[in-house]
Structure 1
Amino acid sequence: MEFLSHPVTEQVIEKGFSYSEFVEFTEKLVEEKRTTGANQSEAYLDYTRMCLQRMNRWNKTAKVSAKMTHLMESIQESQIWLIITEAWCGDGAQSIPYLAKLAELNPKIKLRIIMRDEYPEIMDAYLTNGARSIPKLVAFTEDLKVELFTWGPKPLYLMNRHKEYKHEPKGLSYSGFLEEIHLWYAKNKNQDLEAELFPLIQASLL
């Protein structure tokens, strides 16, 4: 929990979306048949539509365990949770609704969402194995002077599965691979995400 130099400022936090604002923003993008970032291809418009559907589904169905609820409610010092993502990001649509439910459990948590391609200097401070992988959650103390923890872009099982697929696809198409990933998310119901976040949040309280 030592001080780390980072490019996140109060201005960045204030410009960020709350979760409800991000959902509304994505709805508007879908209505206007566009998405975030430079790639405005039909494929990315489809990804954005699917992301909106997934977020809306998780908004209704995502559950936080009693153990995690107790931990969140025990947070005494204010924290800022910054999420870096894009509207077309499939992993973001699967994880961010759960993160938002956690933040809602304690008024001391301020959650803000920014777009990766609008803040390349911030994204480059939180690379995953040298890549601009999203979503990325970075938690800070309220004054932004201490970085408490980071998580992302997805649960460890999926990180390993992605490595396996890149190394040896075994005849599986990329669309087939994505289908497998999203099926895993649906079955896992944020259990791995919660299990990975719990010790990070717990350590931020010590």
Structure 2
Amino acid sequence: MTFQDYLELFEHIVSGKLTQPPYDETDMLDYTKMNYTRMNRWLKTGQILPALNLAIKNIQQSQVWELITEPWCGDAAHSVPFIYLLSELNPNIHLNIQLRDSGSEIDQYLYHGAKAIPRLIVRNDRQEDIFIWGPRPHDAQQLFLQLKGDNTSYEDLKIQIQHWYNQNKGVMLQEEIMAGLVK
């Protein structure tokens, strides 16, 4: 699906037009609404790093960016907007979004055996994987593992990860994508 299709799906969910599981649960719907707000905030305020902007604009070959995600994913609310904004910088980049729970390629791109999302698979024009990113920037992942190891409550974990994303402002995600593109 295109990013526009993804936005429309998101809008159907948050407006209550789509009520199938897991969006039939109040907590999940509320969390998804928060994700929608966060995603739109990053779409409006997210700043692309100048070096990455230049690197993206200099891509000469066609690339397909397969992004596996879901609207309910909290990490995706902070990553998907930047990935979309980057893909818009160059007509040689074609962003395709797959929903993890609806026939995606996730089983081929597990993260330590888990269906963790979002996952970005960048492919060249021969459909070969150039690099794979996700499910979250390195430092956010380290924080997540530390909090999980400390038996932090799920609510506190979400708050601390959210705080990390707000402080980082998409910088580490962009640095990691830059590293993948220039290797």
The alignment's TM-score, normalised by the length of structure 2, stands at 0.93
Could you tell me which residue of structure 2 aligns to residue 29 of structure 1?
Answer: 13
- For residue 140 of structure 1, the aligned residue among 123, 129, 140 is 123
Could you tell me which residue of structure 1 aligns to residue 143 of structure 2?
Answer: 161
> Are residue 190 (structure 1) and residue 170 (structure 2) matched?
yes
How far apart are 1:35 and its partner, in Å?
6.2
Could you tell me which residue of structure 2 aligns to residue 47 of structure 1?
Answer: 31
Separation in 1, partners of 2:25, 2:19: 9
Kindly report which structure 2 residues correspond to 1:25-104, keeping only aligned pairs within 5 A, or say none: 25-32=9-16, 34=18, 38=22, 40-104=24-88
How far apart are 1:202 and its partner, in Å?
1.3
RMSD across aligned C-alpha pairs, in angstroms? 1.6
Alignment CA distance shift 1:39-1:132 (3 Å): farther
Report how many aligned residue pairs link the two structures: 183
Conserved 8 A contact 2:49-2:171: no
More RCO (CA 8 Å, sep 6+): 1
Separation in 2, partners of 1:116, 1:134: 8
Segments ≥4 residues shifted beyond 3 Å: 33-40
Conserved 8 A contact 2:13-2:23: no
Could you tell me which residue of structure 1 aligns to residue 114 of structure 2?
Answer: 131
Separation in 1, partners of 2:149, 2:155: 16
Conserved 8 A contact 2:144-2:161: no
Q: Secondary structure at the match of 1:148?
A: strand
- For residue 178 of structure 1, the aligned residue among 151, 158, 169 is 158
Q: 1:80-99, CA deviations, whole angstroms, 9 ceiling, x for partnerless residues?
A: 00100111001011101001
Separation in 1, partners of 2:94, 2:130: 14
> Partner letter of residue 47 of structure 1?
Y
> Partner letter of residue 136 of structure 2?
K
Separation in 2, partners of 1:59, 1:113: 16
Separation in 2, partners of 1:36, 1:195: 37
> Partner letter of residue 115 of structure 1?
L
Separation in 2, partners of 1:54, 1:165: 22
Alignment CA distance shift 1:66-1:123 (3 Å): same
Gaps of 5+ in 2: none
Could you tell me which residue of structure 2 aligns to residue 7 of structure 1?
Answer: none
